[in-house]
Amino acid sequence: MQKKAVVGIDIGGTNTVFGIVDQQGNYFAEGKIKTRDYTNFVDFVDELSFQVKESIQKFDSYISVIGIGVGVPNGNYYNGTVEFAPNLPWKGVIKVTKEIKARIGLPVIITNDANAAALGEMIYGAAKKMKDFIVITLGTGLGSGIVVNGKMVYGHDGFAGEIGHTIIFPDGRPCGCGRNGCLETYCSARGLTETYLQILGKPSANIDVSSIDSKFTFDHAQQGEQAAIEAFNKTGDILGLALANTVAHTSPEAIFLFGGLANAGDLIFIPTRKSFEKNLLNIYKGKVKILPSGLKEGNSAILGAASLIWNEHL
Amino acid sequence: MQKKAVVGIDIGGTNTVFGIVDQQGNYFAEGKIKTRDYTNFVDFVDELSFQVKESIQKFDSYISVIGIGVGVPNGNYYNGTVEFAPNLPWKGVIKVTKEIKARIGLPVIITNDANAAALGEMIYGAAKKMKDFIVITLGTGLGSGIVVNGKMVYGHDGFAGEIGHTIIFPDGRPCGCGRNGCLETYCSARGLTETYLQILGKPSANIDVSSIDSKFTFDHAQQGEQAAIEAFNKTGDILGLALANTVAHTSPEAIFLFGGLANAGDLIFIPTRKSFEKNLLNIYKGKVKILPSGLKEGNSAILGAASLIWNEHL
């Protein structure tokens, strides 16, 4: 009997990667195309579908592919679309699932990258036995995927889980969304960098301001530089408060931090947990874990996208 | 054939009321006992169960009672308990469902009063056709019940939906929960009263400060008094912002405002909706309704409690 497998596709602003994986996370094939090279979506989906089909055919005798999961910024589960994604080359509303299905002939499910990360955590990662948890992706921005009672929360319109755009300080930093004080303006790679720059005030002459990014801040904090450590502490303070407020909505068993900023380890986890416990309502105190993701960053996006299909079949 | 019916029990700090109702909301019987008269829970549950059984037996030939739903502050769905309810006469953890079931012999389900209100809205009220919505109860405090994909959100511990205890201003008003700046310290009958007193500064000699409550504020606002109107506007400003942040979690189709403060109508709905739309993330704007409850206040608590049983049987 052929082994069941699914295709996971992760569409990012720079690259699109895909893989064929089984339920244990074994890879049969992988591929990659440059998203930015395709200003026309039809050219993009032609090339992507061609490569995916070719990969599937190679393993035809061993595996039976049951569906294709797609993780993409601003992906909408209900509509099968990508809608007004600021970092992708295609404008407006793009019918992603319809176009891929027309070319490959398999069921296609789409959602945004943070929801895919949450499903990946549930199928392949550290949330395997959990029914209520949240994944926070700390990249350039802050994404989130909320799972309640074993099911992804999509909301009435497919756009649930935008915790990065909860307003923390009404008169705070300007956000890319056009408002002020969104969580992601403080708790993200970009937010950390800005906090570090603020603490430095006028950076000393031997620091090139344009070189300051989250890796730079991380390196300086690791070397024990007080200003950089303080930047992590402030970021964790705010994140802990925001996550305490999130718990008062869906009361999860755990919140997973994922992505570049989460890889800073204790530097971000310790101040976040401290602020989180301090700000939790009594009935939740000591009950909700803040944990690192159980997925390796390298292939997590493909596994997350693949989980969209497993989640509907399990 | 006997008609199916359920018992709804609402346990409040002052009174406990119950009713036998069918799926259309018709009442067969009603009853009431004074919660405060029973410092011992066993005495309370003896008397309550006796009265409920008597009512059921009266209608034995017409109806078949399939279960008992209980709405009570700090009620826990999973454990069947009331846990550390500050406004009830019984301390610690009380095994409510076990004790009632032992006396009446019917299935018993319990949850907190705000969750019961949300289920009541779904079964009997204005959310009949909705799968994703939230009910906010604006009483002395602020309670909330969150429904996602047609199911009540209980969270991993049964305590989900405490939006009244999201921290809006970290250094804000002291809250009964021991923290500062919780939403309910601003957006509740008590919060409105405090805001009105703040705006008045030193109230003029002909106002007795102790007489100022939300009804007093409402009456003055209705008479066109600027300070009272401003108190409602400030309350709506804060509530609108908080609800916009809530939408970024579960993206509901509608948010229902229920309870004393919601009965102020335009005085609270207009500023709340204005601030809500202003503070919503773009993708949600114009899509989420803020509506009055479709239940009449008089019997809504019993209908909400009864809905706990219908919700599991439909």
Q: Are residues A7 and A33 in the same domain?
A: yes
Q: Are residues A167 and A188 in the same domain?
A: yes
pLDDT, residue B276, reads 98
Q: What are the CA-CA distances from residue A244 to residues A208, A251, A290 (Å)?
A: 36, 9, 11
Q: How far is A129 from chain B (nearest CA, A)?
A: 12
Name chain A contacts of B160, Cβ cutoff 8 Å: 249-251
Question: Does residue B70 surpass a pLDDT of 90?
Answer: yes
Q: How far is A225 from chain B (nearest CA, A)?
A: 28
SS3 at position B68: strand
Residue burial B268-296, b: 16+ Cβ < 10 Å; e: rest: bbebbbebbeebbbebbeebbebbebebe
pLDDT digits (tens, 9 = 90+) for A11-64: 998 999 999 999 999 999 999 999 999 999 999 999 999 999 999 999 988 899
CATH number at residue B238: 3.30.420.40
Low-confidence ranges of chain A (pLDDT < 50): none
Please state the φ and ψ torsions of residue A210, each to the nearest 5 degrees. -65, -15
Question: Does residue B254 surpass a pLDDT of 80?
Answer: yes
Dist. CA B185–CA B285, nearest whole Å: 27
Dist. CA B3–CA A76, nearest whole Å: 44
Token pair of A156 as six digits: 């009435």
Q: Are residues A101 and A204 in the same domain?
A: no
The answer to whether B159 contacts A131, with C-beta atoms less than 8 Å apart, is no
With 0-12 / 13-18 / 19 or more C-beta atoms within 10 angstroms meaning exposed / middle / buried, residue B208 is: exposed
pLDDT, residue A204, reads 64
Q: Are residues B174 and B284 in the same domain?
A: yes
Q: Are residues A140 and A272 in the same domain?
A: yes
Q: Are residues A81 and A216 in the same domain?
A: no
Q: What single-letter amino acid sits at B79?
A: N
Please state the φ and ψ torsions of residue B49, each to the nearest 5 degrees. -65, -40
Token pair of B33 as six digits: 């006992």
Token pair of B9 as six digits: 């029990």
Number of domains comprising chain B: 2
Name chain A contacts of B83, Cβ cutoff 8 Å: 283
**Alpha helices, DSSP H, located in chain B:** 41-58, 96-104, 113-123, 189-200, 214-222, 226-250, 266-279, 297-313
Dist. CA A64–CA A5, nearest whole Å: 6
Residue found under tokens 């229920």: B258
Report yes or no on whether pTM surpasses 0.90: yes
Q: Are residues A142 and A283 in the same domain?
A: yes
Token pair of B159 as six digits: 């305590």
Q: Are residues B133 and B88 in the same domain?
A: no
Dist. CA A293–CA A5, nearest whole Å: 23
pLDDT band at B150 (very low <50, low <70, confident <90, very high): very high
Name chain B contacts of A286, Cβ cutoff 8 Å: none
Q: Are residues B145 and B289 in the same domain?
A: yes
In terms of residue numbers, what domain contains B34?
3-120+298-313
The answer to whether B165 contacts A287, with C-beta atoms less than 8 Å apart, is no
Question: Does residue B240 surpass a pLDDT of 80?
Answer: yes
Higher pLDDT, B300 or B52: B52
pLDDT, residue A229, reads 97
Which residue in chain B has the smallest CA separation from A147? B155
Q: Are residues A11 and A150 in the same domain?
A: no
Question: Does residue B197 surpass a pLDDT of 70?
Answer: yes
pLDDT, residue B314, reads 73
Query: What ipTM was estimated for this complex?
Result: 0.93
Chosen for mutation from B162, B249, B250, B289 (greatest number of chain A CBs closer than 10 Å) is B249
The answer to whether B148 contacts A155, with C-beta atoms less than 8 Å apart, is yes
Question: Does residue B307 surpass a pLDDT of 70?
Answer: yes
Q: Are B156 and A132 in contact (CB under 8 A)?
A: yes
pLDDT, residue B220, reads 94
pLDDT digits (tens, 9 = 90+) for B103-147: 999 999 999 999 999 999 999 999 999 999 999 999 889 999 999
> From the list A163, A177, A253, which residue is nearest B249 (CB)?
A163
pLDDT, residue B204, reads 63
pLDDT band at B78 (very low <50, low <70, confident <90, very high): very high
The number of beta carbons lying within 10 Å of the beta carbon of residue B62 is 11
Q: Are residues B276 and B169 in the same domain?
A: yes
Which residues lie across from B15 on neighbouring strands? B34
Chain A and chain B share a number of CB contacts under 8 A equal to 130
pLDDT, residue A205, reads 64
> Which residues are CB-contacts of A60 (< 8 A; sequence separation ≥ 6)?
none
Q: How far is B313 from chain A (nearest CA, A)?
A: 19
> From the list B170, B241, B284, which residue is nearest A170 (CB)?
B241
Closest by Cα among A45, A177, A51 to B248:
A177
pLDDT, residue B60, reads 87
> From the list A156, A165, A252, which residue is nearest B156 (CB)?
A252
Closest by Cα among A113, A116, A118 to A131:
A118
Mean pLDDT, rounded, for B164-173: 95
Dist. CA A197–CA A199, nearest whole Å: 5
pLDDT, residue B206, reads 67
Q: What single-letter amino acid sits at A259?
A: G
> From the list A177, A282, A283, which residue is nearest B282 (CB)?
A177
Q: Are residues B101 and B139 in the same domain?
A: no
